[in-house]
Structure 1
Amino acid sequence: WNVRKTSNKAIHGVYEGVTIFEAPAKIGLNQQAVGYVPTDEEWRFPNFGEDTAHGREFTQSREGTFGGDNGTKSVLPEHKVWFFYLQRICNHCTYPGCLAACPRKAIYKRQEDGIVLIDQSRCRGYKKCVEQCPYKKPMFRGTTRIS
């Protein structure tokens, strides 16, 4: 890496592709990436199964209890509201998958500063943004049925 070398070119090269605003016209709108959409039951409990040693096998029974491997049970109360609905900070991707995936065009990226926003009045809760975001930042709220 030669620091004395002078060049008008950027250090990491120059991006010559299309922007998120130019891509639909050149690539096409009817393309969809594969992703994962959590079920309504998975939205009900905050990250249950991700932080337990038992994983998905450590599931809830009809009585509202959770069974362990040694035969013991612990009861978890039914919560009306979870911290789960607190907003997670968007990464404001250069090419946001959520924007491309939204069939209602409720997600937009401001030209002036690159901030990615969801228009709550246009959103219908199809969860395509959640499915396509690699960081799972858009939140689907079950009570309002929108993201």
Structure 2
Amino acid sequence: MALKLKTRTNFPALVSVQAPLLLSKIGSAYTFSLDMDSLISTVFVSSSPRTLTGTSGAIGATDSSIIFNASGAFTVTLPNAALYPGRWLNLKSIAVQTVNSASTNVVPLAGGAAGTALLTNTAGKWARLQSDGANWIIMAAN
């Protein structure tokens, strides 16, 4: 179950709930009950796109969109996929550069074994990744 809410700082947040959910019917009305004692939730707060320059950098815990603006090869450290199952990352290059992961944890768009390639050396390349709990899967790219 996913709940959308606004935090006090007005950042949109997605709460993923993994807990027993009970649906009850009283007359013609339905009610939902959630066992708060067994509630496990993860909150991902979206942030503004961040631009990385130079030759290497890391994606932070609250980053969701990254713009690469460097020359030559760029090595990025992705968050540990095991800590963020289901998390999405949007990556975009605005310069002629190759972007690779610092670890062998990226499954290509066509599938297969995990590698390091993220973006080829053409300005305007982008990829949308999602964590499967073990690796970052390229779900869409150009």
- Please, what TM-score do these two structures have when normalized by structure 2? 0.22
Higher strand fraction: Structure 1 or Structure 2?
Answer: 2
**Comparing both chains, which one has the higher relative contact order based on Cα–Cα distances under 8 Å and sequence gaps of 6 or more?**
1
TM-score by length of 1: 0.22
